[in-house]
Amino acid sequence: MLVNLKEILTKAEAGNYAVGAFNSPTLESVRAVIEAAEELQAPIILSHAEVHNEIIPIEIMGPILIDFAKRANVPVTVHLDHGSNLEIVKKAIDIGFSSVMIDASHMNYEDNVRTVIEIVEYAHRQNVSVEAELGMIASSGIGGEETKGGEPFAEGDLIDYYTDPLIAKDFVEITEIDALAASFGTVHGIYLKEPNLDFDRLCAIYKNIQRPVVMHGGSGLSEEDYVTAINSGVRKINYYSYAAKAGAYAIKDFIENNSNLFYHDLTVVAKDAIKKDVIRAMKIFLNKGEVVR
Ligand SMILES: [Zn+2]
C-alpha cells in the first residue's frame, strides 16, 4: 500500500527503528526492494533520485514505483530523492509520489527556508510529505547516489558543512517539514576512508527538532554505526551505492563463469544480488538485534 513519509516514519519513531530508502532506477532494483520488504513484512521507501533522470526519466520510472507500492502487501512510500527545484518536485507530486525531498542546502539559509516553505505549502495540501536538508552532505565522487555540485569532498573541511543543532531547530519550526536530512559525517557514494560520525551532534539535532532525522550516504557503514544512529533518532536511511555494487559484481562473476550468455539472465542475477543486500540492510535497520551477515 502507498503511504506518505510522515505515516511510515511515525511508526518507525514509535518502534525505534529506521526505514530503508532505496533508489530504484531499474525494474530489477524495484522488484528486489519490494520482494525484500514483503519477505520481511517491513515498510520500505522506494526512491527516485533526480540525478537518475539520466538513466531513466521520472515520467517512466515514477508510475512504475507507484504501481509496485500500491500492489505491495506492506507500507511503501514513493519518494523523490534530492529534488533541486520547485518544477521537479511538483512534477513528482503530480505523478503521484507520496513524499518529496527538496534539497536547497546549497543556498544561503534564508533562501533555503523560503524554498522549502513554498514546497511544504504545495505538498502538504496534497497529503505529500516533505524532507529538506540543512548543512551539506558530501559525496565521495565514486558511485554516489548523487553528487553535490559534482565536487568530491575535500579531506578535513567536511565538518564545516555539518548541521548546526540550534539552526536545525529554527529551520524545522519555520518550514514545518516532516523529516530533516542532517549532515553529521556520512558521505554519499563509496567510503574512501573509515567514516567518523558525530553522534553527539546527531543526538542534539534530534532532541532539538523532535522529528525524524534522515541519514544520507547510508550504505557502507558498520552495523554498530547503524544501530547507534537509529538509537540517536535516525528514522530513514538512504541506502543505494552498495546494493548497486552488489548487483554489478554478481553480474561480473556470472559472466566470468558462464560462456553461454543472455541479457535476461543477467537481470535475474542482478535482482537476486540486490535483494540479498537489501534484506541484510533492512534487518539491521529494523533494530531488533537479529542481524545476519
Ligand atoms: Zn542524499
Is 133 annotated in a binding site? The answer is yes
pLDDT given at position 218 = 85
Angstrom distance (rounded) from CA 131 to CA 144: 19
Our measurement of the distance from residue 5's CA atom to the centroid of its chain's CA atoms, rounded to an integer in Å, reads 11
257 Cβ contact partners less than 8 Å away, ≥ 6 residues apart? none
> How far lies 40's CA from each of 63, 275, 282, in Å?
24, 11, 8
With 0-12 CB in 10 A as exposed, 13-18 as middle and 19+ as buried, what is 96? middle
All cell numbers assigned to 9: 516514519
Q: In this predicted model, what pLDDT tens digit does every residue of 130-171 receive, in sequence order?
A: 999 999 888 876 554 444 444 555 545 667 789 999 999 999
All cell numbers assigned to 109: 539559509
Q: How many angstroms is it from 146 CA to the middle of ligand 1?
A: 6
Instruction: Estimate the crossing angle of helix 263-285 against helix 223-231, to 10 degrees.
Output: 50
Q: In this predicted model, what pLDDT tens digit does every residue of 120-132 receive, in sequence order?
A: 999 999 999 999 9
* Under-70 pLDDT residues of the chain: 141-158, 290-293
Contact 162, 205 (CB under 8 A): no
Candidates 1.10.10.1200, 3.40.50.150, 3.20.20.70, 3.40.190.10; CATH matching 5-285 = 3.20.20.70
Q: How many angstroms is it from 104 CA to the middle of ligand 1?
A: 12
Angstrom distance (rounded) from CA 172 to CA 113: 9
Is 178 annotated in a binding site? The answer is no
Q: How many angstroms is it from 222 CA to the middle of ligand 1?
A: 18
Is 223 annotated in a binding site? The answer is no
Q: How many angstroms is it from 137 CA to the middle of ligand 1?
A: 7
> How far lies 44's CA from each of 82, 166, 210, 285, in Å?
18, 30, 22, 11
Contact 131, 179 (CB under 8 A): yes
Q: Which protein residues have their CB within 5 A of the ion that is ligand 1? A: 216
Coil, strand, or helix at residue 4?
coil
Is 82 annotated in a binding site? The answer is yes
Q: How many angstroms is it from 261 CA to the middle of ligand 1?
A: 35
pLDDT given at position 143 = 52
Q: How many angstroms is it from 134 CA to the middle of ligand 1?
A: 12
Contact 61, 78 (CB under 8 A): no
Is 124 annotated in a binding site? The answer is no
Angstrom distance (rounded) from CA 99 to CA 123: 8
pLDDT given at position 145 = 44
pLDDT given at position 157 = 62
Angstrom distance (rounded) from CA 32 to CA 281: 13
All cell numbers assigned to 169: 531547530
Coil, strand, or helix at residue 217?
coil
Q: How many angstroms is it from 271 CA to the middle of ligand 1?
A: 23
Q: Which residue in the list 67, 81, 94, 265 is annotated as catalytic?
A: 81
Q: How many angstroms is it from 263 CA to the middle of ligand 1?
A: 31
- Computed over every residue of the chain, the mean pLDDT equals 92
Concerning whether 170 is annotated as a catalytic residue, the answer is no
Angstrom distance (rounded) from CA 238 to CA 209: 20
All cell numbers assigned to 242: 552498495
DSSP assignment of 127-147: T-EEEEEES--EE-SSS-S--
